[in-house]
Chain A
Amino acid sequence: MSTLEHKLTKTSETVFTAEFHTLDGNGLEKAKKYADRFRGWFDGVNATDNTAAHAHVSNVASAIAMKQLGLEPILQVVCRDKNRLAQQADIMGASMFGVENFLALTGDDVTAGDETEARRVFDLDGPQLVRLMSTIKRGEYMSGRKIDPAPHMFIGAVENPGAPPFEYRVQRVAKKYASGAKFLQLQICYHQDRLEKFCAGVRDAGLAGKIAIIPTIILVKGASALNFMHNSVPGIDVPADQIARVEKAADPCEEAYLQTLEFAQHALAQPSVRGLHITDFRNDETLERLMTDLGRVRQSITSEVKENHAYSA
């Protein structure tokens, strides 16, 4: 059982997950550098799958590297680039290397990326992919062909509490839970009222304690990143007063940090919330500062644990 699954299903501890950096040239060296920053802070780290429709080192290769480097990977699988056959192959391939956490996403469209001429696949959609993961977990491929032994899987999904239709988003959570999702990472939401309603809705739907809600917060250096998200990332709306707050501050960098901390504390106080997912766009010492301010103590990795994690390093 993965640490993430153990904490979410057997304890009431708050969990922290993070987005791993994308890898390109000299990927393994960079992965080592990033792993040194992340190790000991997080219960799971997302091995991303061509984020924002840009090609990078694959999700499966990143997840294996993370295992070797002492991080616990969460394998993201998106529906944009691969059909159901390839998705099953990726899940089984990662599982062969000991990956146990899986995250099903619909995925950004190819138009969000830098190769907009590419064919979009979307053979399955997000909820169907969750169900497919449950099928593999049960010991069968989609076709019904047996997998013996069945891989150990802890399945999660994603939802956006900040995009319309707001009142329908909770029903999608119920659908994903019914399909087998046990945790749900949320997309960043800069409208606190929307997050509050969403989390209360999950509770009112009787899903609290059944599916762990993990809102995202993002560490940014200033207003330009907020403006970028507001203007260029569909599904993310940053209220003008939040942007102005950072823009007009005497020290925008510090204000951006304080804003992130406030959002983190607010998110953790919501019903059904079991932890936070952190995306670090700052790449500086504030990651450590944030974790400390949130009361997290960095776990030391013993040599024994390192050995267990090191597949072949």
Chain B
Amino acid sequence: MNYSLTTEKELEQKLQSEAHALLKDGCCDYIIGFEQGSLPFTTTPLITKNQEDVNRLVVNSFIVNNLSHFLNEIKGRIGIVVKGCDSRSVVMLMTENRIKREDIFILGISCPGMIDLNKVELLLSKNSEDLEDITREGNNVVVLSDSKEILPITDVLYDNCLGCNAPIPQEYDILIGEASYLVTDKEASQRKINLVKSLSTEERWQYWKDEFKRCIRCYACRNVCPVCYCEQCFVEETEPRWLSPAPNWQDNLMFQVVRNLHVAGRCTDCGECERSCPVRIPLRSLTREMYDIVVDSFGYEAGKDKDAPSLMAGYESSEVEGVFR
């Protein structure tokens, strides 16, 4: 069986009726999901109390955002729509006692992988405004514009979707869609990272230096991150002042490196930071590498097990000793 438009419509209707029932029965105060965005092929978060509004909920290949971030801010009983990676963020927030399991109702979606509009634009060298329709047919994506183009799905999915090994949510109350139709390509998902790894130490530093010269320090990466919930981030501390607020490459780089060290073992590779970056710095090359380092050193996968202690709280007296003299 293949993933197609009809599957999407079925899932959407099921989600809408479930969400409607949750609000009607008073099981939830809010529903957080996705609705159609103002531009074609985009979606925007929908946060609502009203039963009529849930008819605007959508399920398609463009529900890219990680909504678990909102759980940090909205109080009450919440029904939230999550994909595989988002559910791991939710589990992470439970591990860190930010939210209680009984306060949230998880509407899990077995994720078919999200389509990266930038990749489609790049492959067809067309602006997304000129595209009429993007639909999935099996393992291909059919793009309609003045001509009809068929692209293999592995060419247009996000890098983190291509490297995903758990598209079905870890934790859910209702699962919308039984099986996952995700087609992965580990090689392609690691392409940018392997490029950095193939460089020498000096070249790697030069590479990141050049990337961070573009950074405008808008902090979008931090603001969308579900595990970046500190009341006061170290970049805003003034006593002592850790780094200059002016966007120079040295401090841009320091901000991003330390942010990555702070989310180590908590980042679930949802790819939101890279998606939100207005100057397209390959931030996932940092977060994913950190994810792999943590897995390799301690066998710890963030959000995979809700009963496991967090990375820093779980330790064994005998483990990697190498770096200590």
A and B associate:
no
